[in-house]
Amino acid sequence: MLNFYSFPETVRIAFSVWTVLCAAIIALVLVLRQYHYNNHNIVYRFESAAAFLVLCQMVINVALIAQVQHNAIEGFVVPSDYIIPRYAVFIAAVIVSVYPLIKKKAIISGIAVTASFFILPVIETRTGRAFPFFFAAVLMILLGCGIWYAASLVKEIRTSVSGLSVKQAMDSLNTAILFYRKNGHILLQNNKMHDLMLKMSGRVFFNGRLFFETVVVPNSESYDAGSYLYSLPDGARLFTIKEIMLGKTPVTRLTAADVTEQNYINRELQEKYRELEAQEIKLKNFVANIEEISRSEELLRIKTETHDAQNKKLTILLRYLRHGGYPDIETFSTLSESLLNSINKTEETPENPQSELDILVNIYERAGIGIRLTGDLPHDRNTAAAMMYVLREAAANAVIHGYADKIYVWIIYNDGKCVMRVTDNSKQILIKIKEGSGIAGMRRRLEKLGGKLYIETSPRFTLTAAVPLNETEVKEGEMRG
């Protein structure tokens, strides 16, 4: 580098800038290669190593030129430095560039490494005053190679953004997808769609429209508009077809999503729903049969007692159905079985009406129905049982026919009678009612004790049950009142 000291300062600065520019171009090539190639095979690694070593050579040369410029300004001359690193880097660059040159015929890498030979210390010694010209020629060659290689990489990157990178992005999706023109010509598809074609038909289609119309549609069940459910041994795929615009050209997009788990859950829910429907039909038929056999007086009594004992179960069940919910199969079966068994398990008078009242309130509360009671049942067991009968029937009717969720009960003692009034928060306005077996059963139960049933429809539907009390009950009622 001693010959550089004889050049004017302007020339030395130009050499410095030129050397830095060469190093920057080679560094840019390395960056572009890293950005462009994602398949780091052995040839790529050797090429990158050779480019890196050439860059190291240029960095050393930058340091040498900078050293010359600094020494010239200070007014003293120093012989060339970095002798061993310059040879070591060159030898390493030659070694790593041989394999790509043989395997890939990487001419550009070979030219760059060969050119760097002419700036080694041995050439500097042999050429003497001509060395700066060799140095300038090598910089020109390296700069040209670097610019050409960088431009080619930029061109490839731009091309791959619309082709290779899009394909790679599609291949990374969990959904099979393809795009085809109106005539069926496939523009783009990912590997998952390719594999799916093989699974479904045993071959690969080059016409997307033909694949959709001859394989997908005939062997699928229609899911909804534009969607088809295709079953495979390893699961289910939901195909969706949609026309989109690619610029001004209409293109069809066909996707296939793996819905194996969702399909299994849907089929399980459908099966459960069918079982519930079957149970509901069975229950409705059972209730209808009860109406049919209740024509005789004896069967009417059995039906009345059954209805009395089980109305809370029917009420809870119908409340589930009307509010869009479904009890599980075990609960449904238990309710149905208990309705059948109750025919042979009727009691004329409960042992403890107060306990029955507590149970009734608790059961209704679990179903979201509140019973608000004011007052106490009479001590006479027969009268209390009659009042409980009326309350059960009234509560069931309020929920079944009035859709009520709050029931209000008042029990008072007045004029030698126990009077119970039952109303609810139903918003239905009844002008005329048709008395069925429930109300008829309440009347019969009260009439056995000399009592009566009164019905009011305005402003709310209200049942009033009045039963005469004996002298003892009258005194106790007056004390409670």
Say which CATH number the domain at 394 has: 3.30.565.10
The domain tally of the chain equals 4
Same domain, 280 and 316: yes
> How many C-beta atoms lie closer than 10 Å to residue 380's C-beta?
19
The answer to whether residue 168 sits within a structural domain is: no
Query: Domain ends where: 207, 224, 258?
Result: 258
Same domain, 240 and 270: no
Residue 206 carries which side chain, given as an amino acid letter? F
Give the separation between CA 71 and CA 78, rounded to whole angstroms.
7
The answer to whether residue 137 sits within a structural domain is: yes
At residue 201, the 3 state secondary structure works out as: helix
In residues, how long is the chain? 481
Same domain, 242 and 357: no
Same domain, 23 and 145: yes
pLDDT at 342: 45
Same domain, 247 and 276: no
Give the separation between CA 28 and CA 145, rounded to whole angstroms.
12
Q: What is the residue-level pLDDT of the chain in tens, covering all 481 positions?
A: 666 666 777 877 887 888 888 888 888 888 877 766 554 567 777 877 888 888 888 888 888 878 777 777 777 666 667 788 888 888 888 888 887 777 766 677 777 778 778 878 888 788 777 878 888 888 888 888 888 888 887 777 666 544 455 666 777 788 899 999 989 999 888 889 989 999 998 898 989 999 999 999 999 888 777 889 898 888 888 999 999 887 788 999 999 988 888 878 877 888 888 888 888 788 777 666 655 554 444 445 545 555 555 555 555 555 555 555 555 555 555 554 454 444 334 444 456 888 888 888 887 887 778 999 999 998 888 899 999 999 988 888 888 777 788 999 999 998 889 999 999 988 766 656 777 777 888 898 899 999 999 988 888 889 999 999 877 666 665 555 5
Same domain, 27 and 158: yes
Same domain, 468 and 383: yes
- To the question of pTM greater than 0.85 for the whole model, the response is no
Rounded to 5, what percent of the chain is helix, strand, coil? 65, 15, 20
pLDDT at 412: 92
Domain of residue 316, residue span: 263-346
Q: Are 157 and 36 in contact (CB under 8 A)?
A: yes
Same domain, 199 and 324: no
Query: Domain ends where: 135, 162, 189?
Result: 162
Same domain, 428 and 369: yes
Segment holding 220, helix H or strand E: none
The answer to whether residue 469 sits within a structural domain is: yes
Dihedral over Cα of 367, 373, 379, 383: its sign: negative
At residue 426, the 3 state secondary structure works out as: coil
Same domain, 149 and 117: yes
The answer to whether residue 212 sits within a structural domain is: yes
The answer to whether residue 167 sits within a structural domain is: no
Same domain, 99 and 190: no
Same domain, 361 and 398: yes
pLDDT at 452: 93
